[in-house]
A = this chain, B = another copy of it.
Amino acid sequence: MTLTMRPATRAELPAIVALLWDDETARHREDPREPLDPRYLAAFDAIAADPNQILVAAERDGRLVGTMQLSFLPGLSFRGAWRMQIEAVRIARDVRGQRLGEQMIRWAVDQARARDCKLIQLTSTATRTAAHRFYARLGFVQSHVGMKLHLRD
């Protein structure tokens, strides 16, 4: 069964929010109930309208089994290099451990190369050590610390 990556549709948004929610770190901050919080729809529209953002749906056998957001960021560093940033990676709970995440990240790498990005960056919650090992196996180097300032609840 092949895994297919493509931009998510608006109709898939409830399923994608459910994937984001089904996670020990994110559960308290997401709300998958339908009708969805309209802020999710506004965010989807902002992403879809921006050619430098892709909300990815990973589909297998007609079912949405994964998601991630890819951002293409212009910058002066590295002599004006573009970079890709990966956020909000999720795999459906019942299909974890089947290397679908690896296929998703390899597809993301292909997209980054196709747009001539010099590097791909991501941050991962410090306690997600299994995720750090996963990305390290794919060649990512843990060279930075990630810091956040929350402005509101």
Enumerate chain A interface residues (CB-CB to B < 8 A): 16-17, 20, 26, 29-31, 37, 39-44, 46-47, 50, 52-53, 55, 69, 71, 73-82, 85, 87-88, 109, 112-113, 117-126, 132, 135-136, 138-152
Contact = CB atoms under 8 A, between A and B. Distances in A.
A66 B128 CA distance: 35
A79 B124 contact: no
A133 to B, nearest CB: 11
Contacts of A141: 147-150
B149 A118 contact: no
A144 B145 contact: yes
Most buried by B among A39, A44, A79, A85: A79
Given A39-B80, A53-B74, A123 B147 contact: yes
A139 B43 CA distance: 26
A149 B110 CA distance: 12
